Chain A
Amino acid sequence: MKLAVTGGKGGVGKSTVAYNLGAELDAVVVDADLGMADLPAARGPDLHDVLAGRAAPLEAVREDTPVPLLPCGRSLAGARAADPTALVETVEQVERHYGTVVVDSPAGLRCDAGLPLFVADACLLVTCLSRAALADAMRARELARAIETPLARVVLNRVEPEYSNSARRFDRVASALGGPVTTIPESEQIMRAQQAGQPVRTVAPTAAATQAFARLAKAIPKQ
């Protein structure tokens, strides 16, 4: 199963969602945000190397990180030398070997956002309760429709405590984006875990945030 975590707007927490979802699904996470890698860094071949044909996809998968990860490169020259279309074969190879892949896609609507959607069986749209985030999420939704990638779930991320029971708001988001919503609460624990390169379920197994990610994983239909 290949899932693309997308969202349109930067800063909504896509990478955090991708990483924690990867932990819940026992998946390999591919950091495909070529311009701004923000999942844990690692030595050895990275996605830039794979996309430039310097390394095979499986060589670049790190199994010694808390969540198995194919890290992104971190140089401008590396990003420039990468062939973005090679992501398709890369993700397919990782899926064949490991079974489930979560692709952390970049913000925006250029080909680096479109190609993860193209290769995925379904996508998750991450957004927040802000106008800017929702507007960009709508655009990302249109892109997914154009590429014919089914929407598995809308992830309403970083929901502050005062909005945690706003069912009407959540329904409006669900109907605007055309898909069922799972909410993830704003959480200090998620932030600290991410900074430590850990999924929140390792650091705080009984936290509300952990339960939310578990619910999200369960809600995704098997592709």
Chain B
Amino acid sequence: MATLDWELTRTDGITLVELYVRSEADEYVRIESNLQPVWPPRRQGRPRSGWDETGFEGSVSADSVRALGYASPAEPVDPPATIVPADSPKRDTATPETLVRTLGDASPPPDAIAYREQMRSTPAETDRRHGETTSASTNSHQEHVTAWCAEIENRVADAQQLAGVSDVDDARKRVAAAGGLDAVGHLKKQLENDRKQLEALQQRTATLQARLDAVEIPLSTLERVT
């Protein structure tokens, strides 16, 4: 029967859990965390192999200690985790999650998005994208929308920094960089608001686009008859 030792650290509103699993015989174990939610170690943005929303599952050798680490926003609890009966090990077949983890995420890095936004904010780039404008007010409307979209993209980039946590140290650094857990909570609310606003805007612009497509001023006819 496997046994569990642990160390707990609480810092910046996060509990860091270090677990040491030992067994006298080779064994397959399931470890359920008593702290929820579990923030598992991650690779390519996905929980590392064996980790899920409530704990970890894997094998322990008779002659070595298996060390595991994870984090949780919950307050420390003693014991932080429990060994529970495990089913026989799952076969390591491909799943979408394991494919992302092993093959690598192909998304562009956040720096590339920030660079694009920098380029867009230069006057030359803004003029080129907007083409000929006939009035100062049109310019300012477009600038306003562009600026609003840039703000949302910055918030999304911030959120992606927090989502791409790879281990416990990383989690600590990123939450600190974001200004603490309260700031993270506030960012989440802002993003929800962004979602709703963009959805409403999308519906409105789709209708407007359809109307634009359907309307055609018969200028040459009007010129002839008036």
Residues of A within 8 A of B (CB): 34-35, 43-44, 54, 76-77, 79-82, 84-85, 87-88, 106, 108-115, 118, 143, 146-148
Among candidates B94, B96, B104, residue contacting A110 with C-beta atoms closer than 8 Å? B104
Whether A84 lies near B105 (C-beta < 8 A) is yes
Stretch from B70-78, B110-118, B181-189 forming part of the interface with A: B110-118
Kindly supply a per-residue 1/0 record for chain B positions 198-213, scoring 1 wherever the CB is within 8 Å of any chain A CB and 0 otherwise.
1100100010010000
Q: Which of A76, A79, A118 has the most CB of B within 10 A?
A: A76
Given A80-B160, A118-B99; A111-B106 close (CB under 8 Å): yes
B94 touches A80 (CB 8 A): no
Give every chain B residue within 8 A of A77 (Cβ-Cβ). Answer: 113, 116, 153, 156
Query: What is the chain A residue whose CB lies nearest that of B195?
Result: A54
The interface of chain B, by Cβ under 8 A from chain A, is 44, 94, 96-97, 99-100, 103-108, 110, 112-113, 116, 153, 156-157, 160, 198-199, 202, 206, 209
Chain B positions within 8 Å of A81 at CB level: 156, 160
A79 touches B107 (CB 8 A): yes
A-side contacts of B116, CB under 8 Å:
76-77
Q: List, in ascending order, chain A residues with CB within 8 A of B105's CB.
A: 84, 110-111
The answer to whether B156 and A108 touch across the interface, beta carbons within 8 angstroms, is: no
A111–B116 alpha-carbon span in the complex (Å): 24
A43 touches B209 (CB 8 A): yes
Question: How many inter-chain contacts with C-beta < 8 Å in the A-B complex?
Answer: 72
B106 near A106 with CB under 8 A, answer yes
- Report the Cα distance A85→B101, complex, angstroms: 11
Q: Cβ of A112: which chain B residues have Cβ within 8 Å of it?
A: 106
Contacting pair A109 B103 (CB below 8 A): yes
Q: Which residues of chain A have C-beta atoms less than 8 A from B108's C-beta?
A: 35, 76, 79-80
Q: Are A111 and B94 in contact (CB under 8 A)?
A: no
Closest to B153 in A: A77
- A10 to nearest B CB, angstroms? 13
Task: Tell me which residues across on chain A come within 8 A of B153, comparing CB atoms.
Answer: 77
Is there contact, CB below 8 Å, between A85 and B100? yes
| Contact A108-B106, Cβ < 8 Å, known A84-B100, A85-B100 | yes
Whether A85 and B94, one on each chain, are in contact in the complex, defined by CB atoms closer than 8 angstroms, is no
Q: Is the CB of A118 within 8 A of B94?
A: yes
| CA of A87 to CA of B116, assembled, Å | 26
A141 vs chain B, min Cβ distance (A): 15
Q: Is the CB of B96 within 8 A of A80?
A: no
User: Quick check: B96 and A88 within 8 Å, CB to CB?
Assistant: yes
Instruction: Compute how far the CA of A109 lies from the CA of B106 in the bound complex, rounded to whole angstroms.
Output: 9
B113: A residues at CB distance < 8 A? 76-77, 80
